[in-house]
Amino acid sequence: MKKDSTTTSAVIPASAEEIYKAWMSTSGHSAMTGSKAQVTARVGGKYSAWDGYIEGKTLELEPPSRIVQSWRSSDFSAKDEDSRLEIVLAKARGGTKVTLKHTNIPSGQAAEYKKGWVDFYFKPMKKYFSGKA
């Protein structure tokens, strides 16, 4: 079965350390997205976000610049294998450039997830790290 992928980036007004720490903690992830998350912050640790809509396992950690996680949403069918999410954090003017490389997505779902990353991650993260949360 054909798989899709998408890459999207945004500059978030925070340091890579702050974003990495928030992404990999239950309270931080919940606060920066505005929705309930659960994170076990270690390689092999499970996580869920958006009240269980998203779940997976952490596959690789390179603090504070890279996180790789298996990723699936409740939109995946039981036959769909997990997709892969690579989060790359790089210093940029105005904060940190966060690049999300989302691969192995079930065919036809990439555009929806790309929009989701912007609406449900980048927008609330910008607000949260700007101190407007």
* pLDDT tens figures, 83-121: 999 999 999 999 999 999 999 999 999 999 999 999 999
* pLDDT tens figures, 15-67: 999 999 999 999 999 999 999 999 999 999 999 999 999 999 999 999 999 99
Phi-psi region of 2 (alpha: psi -120 to 50; beta: other; left: phi over 0): beta
Rounded distance, CA 123 to CA 45, Å? 26
Annotated domain spans of the chain: 3-129
Q: Which amino acid is at 9?
A: S
Q: Which CATH architecture has domain 3-129?
A: 2-Layer Sandwich (3.30)
- Kindly state the tokens that stand for 60: 């690789």
Q: Could you give the 3-state DSSP secondary structure of residue 123?
A: helix
Burial class (CB in 10 A: 0-12, 13-18, 19+), 73: buried
